[in-house]
Amino acid sequence: MKKIGGLISISLVVIFWGISFVSISIMLEVVNPVVLGFLRYVLAVLFVLILAFSKRMSFKITKADFLIFFLAALIGIFLYSSLENTALLFISSSAGAIFASLTPMSTMIGNRLVFKESIRPRNILFIIISMIGVGLVVASDLTLELSWWSILGYGLMILSIISWTAYNIFTKKVTLKYDSLKVTTIQSIIVLFIFLPSLFIAPPNFTAFEPKHWFHLLFLGIICSGVAYYLYVHSVDTLGLTIPNIFINFLPVVTIITNAILFKTQIHFIQVIGGLLIILTMTLLTLDSVRQTKEKLLT
């Protein structure tokens, strides 16, 4: 039953975060990318604090763990959010979501560097094929007049994926000691203070907000930054790190469907092929990682 709850949690996360790429693009019409992160976490902190106080949660953590919480908030939330938001100024939300599917590859490399996990030859093949998919996605999105801006956008997306990998590594450490709500609440409070200076550097012009902007801001803050982060940490806690990353591979599907419904947008055929190569190879990579872990346990 606990695993079923974890599967439902990560399924909702994929839906919410898939739609979030579209919502971010809409919000960037009226607000600075970093300030958008601050506004999201004001709402997220309010949400998780209500949950925390309703459950009489203790905020006590060790000093050593506070450093891990801080690094997770700084690198995995602040940097990740800021880099991703800025990237979507230069590339489409669908392309950004497709790129986000490279997370399992980044996670595998991170585990190799941090935990010294081996990489099988077939996994290297999956990575090579996924890089071909990346090339197709990027090539189809680079136009003559926007090529350099698009390259910048994709570069920022790569950096955001690296940040998310670091978040997974740090969060994996603290979920062994604390429950999902405590991890989400403390990380959200810390990152709110990290975001705070941006409010004074580029204060938002709320008079420019239309009703659609308020709606997307509430969705990003409460649902994507509050509910979804809590559900994601809960899914990692109940299912481990690998299975949630399999689900994350399908973020682009939700984003592309959302764009098609809301804006009647079309995606290039080459992007479809590239996206399918990335999603397929990253899913195979993650499944192989699960198999490898099981083999280690048996031996």
In tens, the pLDDT along 96-132 reads 877 777 776 776 676 666 666 666 777 777 777 777 7
Measured between alpha carbons, how far is 283 from 247 in angstroms, rounded to an integer?
8
Question: Which residues contact residue 196 at a Cβ distance below 8 angstroms, ignoring those fewer than 6 apart?
Answer: 38
Q: How high is the pLDDT of residue 93?
A: 81
pLDDT greater than 60 at residue 272: yes
DSSP codes, 115-134: H-----HHHHHHHHHHHHHH
Q: How high is the pLDDT of residue 227?
A: 86
pLDDT tier for residue 145 given thresholds of 50, 70 and 90: very low
- The pair of structure tokens assigned to 164 is 């998310």
Calculate what percentage of the chain has a pLDDT beyond 70. 82
In this prediction, residues 79-97 reach a mean pLDDT of 86
Residue 248 belongs to domain spanning: 2-298
Q: How high is the pLDDT of residue 112?
A: 67
> Which of 86, 88, 78, 93 lies closest to 19, judged by CA?
93
- Look at 11-15, 51-55, 238-242 and tell me which has the smallest mean pLDDT: 238-242
pTM score, whole prediction: 0.75
pLDDT tens, position by position, 205-250: 889 899 999 999 999 988 988 888 788 878 877 777 667 767 777 7
The number of distinct structural domains making up the chain is: 1
Q: How high is the pLDDT of residue 142?
A: 53
Q: How high is the mean pLDDT of the chain?
A: 80
Measured between alpha carbons, how far is 253 from 185 in angstroms, rounded to an integer?
29
119 or 184: which leads in pLDDT: 184
262 or 104: which leads in pLDDT: 262
